[in-house]
Amino acid sequence: MGSPLNHITNTKVSAVNAAGEPWWKGASVYQIYPRSYLDSNGDGVGDLPGITQKLDYIATLGVEAIWLSPFFKSPMADYGYDVSDFCDVDPIFGSLADFDALIEKSHRLGLKVIIDQVYSHSSDQHPWFEESRRSRDNDKADWYVWADPKPDGSPPNNWQSVFAGPAWEWDARRGQYYLHNFLPEQPDLNLHNPDVQDAIMAVPKFWLDRGVDGFRLDALNFGFHNQALTDNPPASKFKRPPTRPHDFQAHINNMSQPEIYPFLENIRALMDEYPGRFSVAEIGGPFPLDEMKAYTGGDNRLNTAYAFDFLYSDKLDAQLVRETLGQWPGGKNDGWPSWAFSNHDAPRAVSRWRGKCPQGDYAKLLCLMMVGMRGNIFIYQGEELGLCQADIAFEELKDPEAIANWPHTLGRDGARTPMPWKNDNQYAGFSESKPWLPVDKRHLNETVTDQDGSASSVLNFYRKALALRQNSEVLKHGDQEFLTADADLLVCKRQAGAHQILMVVNLTEKPIKHEPITGSILLQTDNFDQGVIPAWSGALIAI
């Protein structure tokens, strides 16, 4: 049983003063996976005009910004993360004119627009790579990472790709291997080459000039490699059991090299020429904390880092939340964190964590927690509906990672299925044609139309919660202080000046006793009660 709240052990976590903070600090960001948001032309694939049609809906959620996953020209081997033209829209998504229209309407509605940027690799159909692979002495011969085989013809070292198998692909034209940390269709750019850096720096400038408000920088710590091509050692510790060859190595040589820091500073210097722009780094790996802080520390690198602590966790409990948020105490060089429970690369959170809790109830609990957390928060499309992970039969899979590692990884397709807008056809209002991924039948009962008019729906709970956060300096910028009453009870005090909000959450399946809290309840799950906090319930209380 929990101790009385007035006998709680305090663990102080401070933050900078909220006065004068930029728009992005503490912002709520809505992630859109364009292929699956809305199909406007009946080809079964979502597109930019479809997103533009739904911007009014997004504005009702109470978020400050949208983040678009890749919509650039691509052969779609990795569904847009294999870019063949960094400065154009793939025809399947529309045109640059469609993108400009999306920007214009977003800004008119008060929404900032953040787009993905992929600087560590390109498509093997990019003109740069097509030239690079022709010979060893052309103008772009050193724009990618090429290496001779070992004397026995095997790859230059033991590096493993994320998607299984060696990170090297043989190319007969050059008689060499090229590096690919992901698919063979995604050759790694050689960012050690100043000419490559110059070419890459022209990309963000192109999009900044078109009016984008920021970038999410994909797989950023894969941008530089050890030029001696030294083998990676075996991993000495694991955050979760390995399921791929990649997981067995400590990736100290094929990624996370010190040359990344001047590159980050160049990106920041460019972005500072465009006031009010925002940068968030995706930094993968099982233990990324030190890199996240290094990438965001001080005033000359990136604004924030996108944390994976929750995205791949197989359970959610109070201890994980305390430990994870407590790693960002708000020191001078700590940077600013960003949090997500779900995204296009991870199974949906309600399916990973809810156990026996009713799906809608758990979705509301996660929403309450997220709006109470210090840092930026990222909400993935459909999360505001409480969607579960879709079931995808093997023969309908599109994700190359899921296909390669079946059935030991759930893959990404189950989180990428079409957004359910209305239950008027088998495609949930996403398209009039068969979608690129199937609609899970369970999602037909969780559509936007069905939830829009219901005061008790997950959707309207999100709207209420996000409106509360958007108008609260305490929740957006305030200090956080964890009050440890019971190992299973999460109690966090947020404070800005004289204003305080207490977040009280029970993530377990058992009720937890505590003394009633004096204050005004700002937001609560349907089943929250004072005195004994019911299972899977919580509240935000002004004290």
Helix, coil or strand: residue 149 = coil
Spatial contact of 249 and 286, defined as CB atoms under 8 Å apart: no
β-pairing verdict for 479-484 and 376-380 = unpaired
Give the tokens for residue 405: 């590692």
| Active-site hit among 82, 169, 213, 218 | 218
Asked about 171 being catalytic, the answer comes back as: no
Residues whose CB falls within 8 Å of the CB of residue 521, separated by 6 or more in sequence, listed in order: 528, 539, 540, 541, 542
Spatial contact of 510 and 344, defined as CB atoms under 8 Å apart: no
Asked about 273 being catalytic, the answer comes back as: yes
| Active-site hit among 152, 273, 314, 395 | 273
| Cα gap 407→384, rounded to integer Å | 28
| Cα gap 225→253, rounded to integer Å | 6
Give the tokens for residue 158: 């033991």
- Angle, vertex CA 307, rays to CA 205 and CA 296, nearest 5: 50
| Cα gap 364→11, rounded to integer Å | 27
Residue 275 is which amino acid?
Answer: P
Q: How many residues would you count in the chain? A: 543
Spatial contact of 30 and 63, defined as CB atoms under 8 Å apart: yes
Identify the CA nearest to 268 among candidates 304, 293, 292. Answer: 304
| Cα gap 163→403, rounded to integer Å | 10
| Cα gap 24→308, rounded to integer Å | 19
The shares of helix, strand and coil residues in the chain, as percent rounded to the nearest 5, are 30, 20, 50
Tell me which residues are annotated as active site: 218, 273
